[in-house]
């Protein structure tokens, strides 16, 4: 998957992180390096739990505690951002990734990204009206994805029998 060493997201995120750590006298350990490489080798939303399962499946040996500690640092470093959905905290790339909003399936947890330029305007308008200085926003549409909606419709029919 990953071939070009110089400009792929994984290595530039790693550099950014190393910089962040160096600046505060922290060290970049083997575990942290492996995690950053793994996390930035593809773009997707993930939960801490899922990440732990994934890296274990890949054979990496990093403890639960270290994963949580590293995620917290990556957030603090501005490389990751957390999102709280209904019943899960998801992480997503912050560094080098455009702003977007989300659709969240309440049934299967699927997350779909979308962008809606109108939101930025609306946000400024509302903020001005309330004398707020807006810094960011979050728009989440919760509901059912196509397959879960169908599945639920089916289940409902069965219930009626």
Partner DNA sequence: TTTAGTGCAAAAGATTTGCATCTCG
Partner DNA sequence: CGAGATGCAAATCTTTTGCACTAAA
**Contact footprint for a second copy (CB under 8 A):** 82, 84-87, 103, 105-106, 112, 114, 116, 118-119, 122-123, 126-127, 129-146, 149
Nearest 5°: phi and psi at 133? -105, 100
The answer to whether 38 and 55 are in contact (CB under 8 A) is yes
Q: How far apart are CA 36 and CA 127, in angstroms?
A: 36
Write each residue from 102 to 141 as x if it is in contact with DNA (CB under 7 A), else as -, in one continuous string. Answer: ----------------------------------------
Q: How far is the CB of 116 from a second copy (least distance, A)?
A: 6
Residues β-bridged to residue 113: 102
Residues β-bridged to residue 101: 114
- The site partner of 85 among DNA, a second copy, none (C-beta below 5 to 8 Å per kind) is a second copy
Residue 157 lies near DNA (rule: CB under 7 A)? no
């Amino acid at each position: 998957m990953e071939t070009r060493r110089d400009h792929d997201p994984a290595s530039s995120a790693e550099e950014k992180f190393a910089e962040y750590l160096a600046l505060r006298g922290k060290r970049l350990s083997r575990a942290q390096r492996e995690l950053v490489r793994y996390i930035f080798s593809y773009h997707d939303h993930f939960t801490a739990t899922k990440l732990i399962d994934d890296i274990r499946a890949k054979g990496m040996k990093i403890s639960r505690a270290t994963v949580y500690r590293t995620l917290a640092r990556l957030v603090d470093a501005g490389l990751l951002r957390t999102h709280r959905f209904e019943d899960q905290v998801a992480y997503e790339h912050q560094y080098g990734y455009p702003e977007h909003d989300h659709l969240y399936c309440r049934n299967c947890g699927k997350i779909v990204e979308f962008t809606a330029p109108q939101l930025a305007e609306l946000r400024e308008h509302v903020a001005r009206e309330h004398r707020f200085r807006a810094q960011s926003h979050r728009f989440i549409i919760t509901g059912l994805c196509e397959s879960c909606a169908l599945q639920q419709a089916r289940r409902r029919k069965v219930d009626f029998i």
